[in-house]
Amino acid sequence: MITGGWGSSWEMPAPPPRPSHLTHAPTEREVVAVTGASGGVGRAVAREFARHGAAVGLIARGRAGLEAAAREVSDLGGVPSVHLADVAEFDAVNGAAAAIEERLGPIDVWINNAMTTVFDFFEDISAREYERATRVTYLGAVWGTKAALERMLPRDRGTVVQIGSALAYRGIPLQSPYCGAKHAIKGSFESLRCELRHRGSRVHLTMVQLPGLNTPQFDHCLSRMPRHPMPVPPMFQPEVAARSVYWAAHHRRREVYVGLPTVYTIIGNKLAPGLAERYLARTAIDGQQTNDPFDGARAANLFEPVDDDHDEGAHGVFDREAHPRSGQAWLSRHRTVTGLGAAALAGAGAAVTLLVCRPA
């Protein structure tokens, strides 16, 4: 039976038998907790872990999206456990963590993904709105990390994945709450990594920096812009992010950059922050809006969940524009292989040069 209230949880029907291609025994399933799992990146990440046979604790405020995500996890061969929780409240997050471990077992991977924001000019965002966006996006990641470490540190194992953004390095107009929160997550991430290293802990903390993605946030986040908000192009599908998040959870990489736009945003800002600022001031207001009018009175998820779901809960309305793959992300995940390939090519080139240039 489903019960109400933040921090509540319920069990889905028993999952179907595991597909034959998944060879892990049920007791060997990896256990992962995902915040913001009802849509967007969190929904895509839940699917990705389910494809690998994981047991997935799904945490969010929207019941319809959580139920749909749970069905997908089951259909893909995973085991879902669904938990209504507002990540802005530590007790709700900690309660969800306890319920996940009771239902699924010790959490191996915790993914802090939940977010909300306000698309507006700084001076037009109320104090209450700014505080709420910060509590969900920044403190939600802090509370999730605390809940995870409370369980992982005594076991001396586990991984916490922070979902970051190129905007953790470079703030842009109309998104000061979101950019501020991502900068703050990066700062707490760096501090905590120092502490974990100091104590010799084997718990791993990683941050995945993402580009603009085609997610439902551009339909559901509060916006007062006259036209429909959109990601800064070029944009990618959320599955691009999910593949890198899954990879980051299983490799001890400090940070993972996803998408070439993320790379040139971060590096460009380091090399010429003033130039980046002038460029964004000139282009990013219009560049974050489509040509379509936007009804600012539509339901926004800042204070209450938009409790609906659609056929592609991970996707927004920009499927035509979004890239399904990123060559840069693939190269980042396989840089050892590509490095060896580059070294082999360089060696072959040197050998050819020696043969050609060798005296007769």
Q: Which DSSP helix (H) or strand (E) runs through 163?
A: strand 159-163
With beta carbons less than 8 A apart as the criterion, state whether 69 and 313 touch. Answer: yes
- Per-residue pLDDT at 182 exceeds 60: yes
Q: What share of the chain in percent tops pLDDT 70?
A: 84
pLDDT of residue 308: 72
55-89 per-position pLDDT tens digit: 999 999 999 999 999 999 999 999 999 999 999 99
Q: Which position among 138, 169, 178, 246 bears the catalytic label?
A: 178
Looking at residue 329, its pLDDT comes to: 86
- pTM (whole model) above 0.75: yes
DSSP 197-257: HHTT---EEEEEE---B--THHHHSEE--SEEE-PPSS-B-HHHHHHHHHHHHTS--SEEE
Is 80 exceeded by the pLDDT of residue 103? yes
Highest mean pLDDT among 20-29, 196-205, 294-303: 196-205
CA nearest neighbour of 175 among 119, 216, 231: 119
**Mean pLDDT in the chain?**
87
Cα separation of 189 and 343, whole Å? 34
pLDDT of residue 360: 40
CA distance 30 to 52: 9
Residue-level pLDDT at 10 = 52
Give 165-176 pLDDT, tens digit per residue: 999 999 999 999
DSSP 82: E
More confident residue, 78 or 295: 78
Rounded distance, CA 56 to CA 109, Å? 10
DSSP 8-state secondary structure symbol assigned to residue 14:
P
- Residue range 323-333: average pLDDT? 87
Give dist(CA 253, CA 233) in Å, integer: 27
* 83 within 8 A of 4, measured Cβ to Cβ: no
Higher-pLDDT residue of 338 and 63 is 63
Q: What DSSP assignment string belongs to 308-331?
A: ---TTTT--S-TTTSBS--HHHHH
pLDDT digits (tens, 9 = 90+) for 249-288: 999 999 999 999 999 999 999 999 999 999 999 999 999 9
Highest average pLDDT, of 91-105, 216-230, 346-360, comes from: 91-105
Q: Please tell me what DSSP assigns to residue 11.
A: P
Query: How crowded is residue 190: how many other Cβ atoms within 10 Å of its Cβ?
Result: 13
Rounded mean pLDDT of 315-341? 80
d(CA 64, CA 113): 18
Residue type, 167: L
Which pair of tokens denotes residue 335? 């840089």
Show the DSSP H helices in the chain as ranges.
40-51, 63-75, 90-104, 127-134, 140-155, 176-198, 217-220, 238-249, 260-271, 273-287, 327-333, 335-357
SS3 call for 355: helix
> What is the Rg, in whole angstroms, of the alpha carbon atoms belonging to the chain?
21
- Give the C-alpha separation, 271 to 274, whole Å: 9
Region 94-114: mean pLDDT is 98
Write the DSSP symbol of residue 306.
Answer: -
CATH no., domain 9-325 = 3.40.50.720
Domain spans of the chain? 9-325
Between vectors from CA 133 to CA 129 and to CA 139, what angle results, nearest 5°?
135
Tokens of 202: 């084997």
- Tokens 């990440």: give the residue: 45
pLDDT digits over 118-139, tens only? 999 999 999 999 999 999 999 9
Catalytic annotation on 246?
A: no
